[in-house]
């Protein structure tokens, strides 16, 4: 079945870049997502990438996809304290209803 793996914790200094990594197993994954979850808040979709793309940039966010290695990363430039949250990687097939999530990476940004 589908599986999505992430490292659990990342700590960076304010102003540095953060890179959160994710690997997935389902070769039929068509859409790869990054969600943000802040304490007491719901899941917020940050960005997504279609499987035929290698890279997607959206302001401070850069998503890189290596489909051969089934590896996805999220780079946050100029990380701010407000970026401290849990970041979830998720995948979905083309016609699938459900998304499969990783267990999240807790990003801590130190001033």
Partner 1 sequence: DTGVSQDPRHKITKRGQNVTFRCDPISEHNRLYWYRQTLGQGPEFLTYFQNEAQLEKSRLLSDRFSAERPKGSFSTLEIQRTEQGDSAMYLCASSQGVGGHNEQFFGPGTRLTVL
Q: Where on the chain is the footprint of partner 1 (CB under 8 A)? A: 4, 31, 41-45, 48, 50, 88, 90, 94-95, 97-104
The β-bridge relationship of strands 71-76 and 29-37 is: unpaired
Indicate the DSSP class of residue 21: E
Question: In angstroms, rounded to a whole number, what is the distance separating the alpha carbons of residues 107 and 81?
Answer: 10
Closer CB to partner 1, residue 12 or residue 96?
96
CB of residue 84 to partner 1, shortest distance in Å: 17
CB of residue 77 to partner 1, shortest distance in Å: 24
Closer CB to partner 1, residue 9 or residue 17?
9
CB of residue 48 to partner 1, shortest distance in Å: 7
């Amino acid at each position: 079945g589908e599986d999505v793996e992430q490292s659990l914790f990342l700590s960076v200094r304010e102003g540095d870049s953060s890179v959160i990594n994710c690997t997935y197993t389902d070769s039929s994954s068509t859409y790869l997502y990054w969600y943000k979850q802040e304490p007491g808040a719901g899941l917020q979709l940050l960005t997504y990438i279609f499987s035929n793309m290698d890279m997607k940039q959206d302001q401070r966010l850069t998503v890189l996809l290596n489909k051969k290695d089934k590896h996805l990363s999220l780079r946050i430039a100029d990380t701010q304290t407000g970026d401290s949250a849990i970041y979830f990687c998720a995948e979905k097939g083309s016609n699938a209803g459900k998304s499969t999530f990783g267990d999240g990476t807790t990003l801590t940004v130190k001033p």
